[in-house]
Structure 1
Amino acid sequence: MQNVYDVTIIGGGPAGLYSAFYSGLRGLKTKLIESQQELGGKVLLYPEKLIWDIGGHPPVLGGQFVKQLIEQAKTFDPTILTNTKVDLIERQDDLFIVHTSMGECHYSRTILLAVGGGIINPQKLTLEGAEKYEMANLHYTVQSFQRFVDKEVIISGGGNAAIDWAVELSSIAKSITVVYRNEKLSAHEATIQEAINAGVKIECNTSITKLTSNADKTAIQYVTCENSKTQENSIRQIDEVIISHGYNHEASLDFDEAIALPKKDDYYFEGKATGETAQPGIFAAGDILAFEGKVNLLIGTFQDAANAVNSIKTYLEPSAYRYGMVSSHNELFKEKNRSIIEKQLSKVGN
């Protein structure tokens, strides 16, 4: 007999991770499946960025926030699979069968979709030989600010991510130059002005056209840029290259025709604020879910997750309470609270 879970969560970003915690809180046997090697979703792209919009939480770096989310998600010991891509979901009687790209099948009484924007991969620089520098000084995300201290940095891109990075690095790098192929940057005006005030050099109508390696061919030493209006080329020596050309979003799953879900804008699943979709037994949370009054922020993601899990609980057990008991009165936390308080008291005593 196959191992059947109460809920299988597809996606290991903030929505999926908080859903895993909350489903454990509600006593559901839980499995989480993530296509990438690491949990954290889109937040992994910005480990050094400060996140300010989490209620009651001081500003926290993206990398630290992911660690805390993962730790919280594991509170009730869910089964977690990473590097596992879901290809197809089908229904068989009262169960859902989740098929993966490795030919495995997972069985579940309900499904919670938390795939966000799908599988996200950065749009690569399409210059010959560029890929060989990805392990050296060609970057598609900023993993550590320390690497850019006192460096000559060039950033290709004109969106919010590119200009945010320019602002963040401007206080530590030797110089920052942003090149953008279009006439006008697409980032927020206030952020652009902040970059200008910080001394960031911005060149529009300009693209990187060539990468030239150092003597031992281990890293980029020069970049050639072309101005599309003047047709002039310039060669500049650099230490680090950051490419911020956006991301390719790949839908991470498909459904059997019998349980296909209606979509909005050809991607997002239409549903309710309760996390319910048009298909009984399939629920959704986070960016993938569309409904009137949707809040597309982390605070909205967490509410989506709690609502979806509560809906799953009552779907499986109609007599169950509609909402989970608050943590201050929940028996599940008594022993955990005692352990945490004892640790804090021991630190004070030392």
Structure 2
Amino acid sequence: MSWKYESDILVVGAGPVGLFTVFACGQLGMRCHVVDAFSEIGGQCIALYPEKPIYDIPGFPSVRARELITRLREQAKPYRPKFSLDTLTTGLRRDNRWFFIQTSKGDEILTRAVIVAAGPGAFGPNRPPLAGIEALEGTSVHYWVTDPQQLRGKRIVIAGGGDSAVDWAIVLSDIAASVTLVHRRAKFRASPASLSALLQLSDNKKVDLRVPFQISALEAAEQRLEAVTIEDMDGKRETLDADVLLPFFGLSSDLSALSEFGLGIEGSTIPCDPLTMSTRASGIFAAGDVAFYAHKEKLLVTGFSEAAIAARSAFTYAYPDKPYHFQHSTDRGVPRPVSA
């Protein structure tokens, strides 16, 4: 296999920390190629809570996750990153100081260093055990919402009791024909503020709460959902007319795609040195939730700082003969494209 792409830095993960890594590397004159298992840029911010406000981003008293991703993309855009989405890293070989990264698409990426900003790793939905659900996925069954307007006027059944289920019930109550939230327990795991808003919508008949119930069957015709059967703990069944089912039972994460990198993965994290963000593998660095060290704070602002440190360390590794000159972004001026 001959390499198809070449970059200074391979970034694993296109979530918020991965996008800021592109900017941090671009500030140092390095080009990035970003690989992500998800089909869209934005990671869990887009998959799980695009409309949810985030309050701990410096300079933003409140910013919705979707807007944050949009702004991070704009910040990274001048540095012309390449993106390989819906793609896993499947192998690695080294030649002197170069890495050759194999992907699930059969491509090979030549890069000088690697920064892993993969959050919890490649993630996928926890699919409920319902007969025929696979045939409806992508048309009537969705595990995340990328464009709420596509659900306008639909009869929607949401299953789950966490933040995603509750938040989407709140958001979609304004645009859907009906929203029914099904949860097998009377107690929800959502934040108190979201739960309070949900209960208010329930009182106003804008969201129909069915608790404690769980979904037991789906009715469909021509690969389109028509109804959902729910069942309480005593076996009593009801049928709900439905156009769309949104099962929010969490995501399963997996770092096995990085198993050949020699990172000493521990569960869903990679041990690293907080002073350099270096891992156990020379030339591979980590940032964001995937990076672990003593007293780690899993905040976005922490991940952004780690991305800047990792970029500095990757520059030193990739270009050992080049002097590193620190400059403030105001000294560098308007971001300019990194030369090809």
TM interval, shorter chain, is 0.7 to 0.9
The range that moved more, 247-256 or 202-211, is 247-256
Query: Would you say 1:223 and 2:228 are equivalent positions?
Result: yes
Distance 2:227 2:257 in 1: 41
Query: Would you say 1:89 and 2:96 are equivalent positions?
Result: no
User: Contact 2:31/2:79 (CA < 8 Å) preserved in 1?
Assistant: no
Structure 1 stretches of 5 or more lacking a match?
A: 337-350
Match of 1:98 in 2: 101
Query: Would you say 1:211 and 2:223 are equivalent positions?
Result: no
Read off the aligned partner of 2:228 and give its amino acid letter: V
User: Contact 1:156/1:179 (CA < 8 Å) preserved in 2?
Assistant: yes
User: Contact 1:269/1:289 (CA < 8 Å) preserved in 2?
Assistant: yes
Note the alpha carbon deviations across 1:185-236, whole angstroms, 9 max, x for none: 23234432331122144333411112223xx6453232211112x1111122
Note the alpha carbon deviations across 1:107-148, whole angstroms, 9 max, x for none: 333211111122222222332222333344332222333344
Distance 1:58 1:218 in 2: 44
- Find the residue that maps to 2:79 and give its secondary structure: coil
Match of 2:77 in 1: 74
The range that moved more, 178-187 or 15-24, is 178-187
* TM-score in terms of structure 1 length: 0.81
Match of 2:278 in 1: 276
**What is the Cα deviation at residue 252 of structure 1?**
5.3
Read off the aligned partner of 2:218 and give its amino acid letter: L
Distance 1:318 1:204 in 2: 64
Instruction: Work out which of the two has the higher radius of gyration on C-alpha atoms and give 1 or 2.
Output: 1
Match of 1:244 in 2: 248
Pair 242,334 (structure 1): closer, same or farther in 2 beyond 3 Å:
closer
Match of 1:312 in 2: 314
Note the alpha carbon deviations across 1:169-197, whole angstroms, 9 max, x for none: 33444543321234632323443233112
2:126 to 123, 128, 139: 123
User: Contact 2:116/2:285 (CA < 8 Å) preserved in 1?
Assistant: yes
Distance 2:100 2:17 in 1: 22
Match of 2:237 in 1: 233
User: Contact 2:27/2:335 (CA < 8 Å) preserved in 1?
Assistant: no
User: Contact 2:254/2:268 (CA < 8 Å) preserved in 1?
Assistant: no
Distance 1:9 1:239 in 2: 39
Query: Would you say 1:267 and 2:271 are equivalent positions?
Result: no
- Find the residue that maps to 1:286 and give its secondary structure: coil
Pair 334,6 (structure 1): closer, same or farther in 2 beyond 3 Å:
closer
Read off the aligned partner of 2:126 and give its amino acid letter: Q
- 1:9-20 matches, within 5 Å, as 9-20=11-22
Read off the aligned partner of 1:245 and give its amino acid letter: F
- Find the residue that maps to 1:89 and give its secondary structure: strand
**What is the Cα deviation at residue 301 of structure 1?**
2.0
User: Contact 2:219/2:226 (CA < 8 Å) preserved in 1?
Assistant: yes
- 1:129-278 matches, within 5 Å, as 129-149=132-152, 151-182=154-185, 184-199=187-202, 200-213=207-220, 217=222, 219-228=224-233, 230-251=234-255, 253-256=257-260, 260-264=262-266, 266-273=267-274, 274-278=276-280
User: Contact 1:85/1:252 (CA < 8 Å) preserved in 2?
Assistant: no
Percentage identity across aligned positions?
30
- Find the residue that maps to 2:245 and give its secondary structure: strand
Match of 1:348 in 2: none
Pair 166,87 (structure 1): closer, same or farther in 2 beyond 3 Å:
same
Distance 2:213 2:241 in 1: 16
**What is the Cα deviation at residue 53 of structure 1?**
3.3
**What is the Cα deviation at residue 255 of structure 1?**
4.3
Distance 1:87 1:206 in 2: 41
**What is the Cα deviation at residue 67 of structure 1?**
3.3
**What is the Cα deviation at residue 19 of structure 1?**
1.0
Match of 1:343 in 2: none
Read off the aligned partner of 2:88 and give its amino acid letter: K
Structure 2 stretches of 5 or more lacking a match?
A: none
- 1:43-82 matches, within 5 Å, as 43-45=45-47, 46-57=49-60, 59-82=62-85
**What is the Cα deviation at residue 58 of structure 1?**
6.1
* TM-score in terms of structure 2 length: 0.83
Equivalent pairs counted in the alignment come to 328
